Amino acid sequence: MSLINANPSSGSPAPPPIKNRFNSMSSEEFMKIIFTELQQQDPFKPNDSSALLEQLNSIRSIESDIQMGEKLESIVFQNQLSGAGGLIGKRVGGLSTENTRVAGTVKSVSRVGDEIGLLLHNNWVIPMDNVEYIDQQPTTGPGSTGTGSSGG
């Protein structure tokens, strides 16, 4: 048995929030709980089986929604990664990971956790969410002014 400190001014740090174990419960675990409940119920006062079926349907619906949400997150992330890959060779500007306004040509794309970063030619990294502008890389070469405009 654990002790709960009822005095919040004791100076001890707050306990970490309790995880919702319901999210990690599978349908199989839920069924075990239901069968245990059915085995231990009073035979003269049985539980309403329709309520149990409603609970089971709710669990399945929630489980399905969670799985669909995870798949959608994965699809969105892959779409963002693909879009970021299309920026390689283009000039971008925005806020770096250090909140410094930077600009440069995208050299590569990296993934760190759930974040996509653009590595610039000058070694700055701009998180994809912090990009403020995207521009075509100006062409430089013989007869070019270096501004990217077509002299015509």
Q: Which domains does the chain have, with CATH numbers?
A: 22-82 (no CATH), 86-135 (2.30.30)
The most confident of 2-11, 88-97, 128-137, by mean pLDDT: 88-97
In which residue are the tokens 């002014």 written? 145
Give the pairing type, strands 131-135 and 115-120.
unpaired
Please tell me the pTM assigned to this model: 0.50
Q: Which two tokens stand for residue 64?
A: 């399905």
Token pair 């075990």: residue: 32
* Mean pLDDT value across residues 69-77: 90
Mean pLDDT value across residues 39-50: 75
* Contact (CB, 8 A) for 22 and 58: no
State the distance between the two ends of the chain, measured CA to CA, in whole angstroms: 83
Mean pLDDT of 5-18: 49
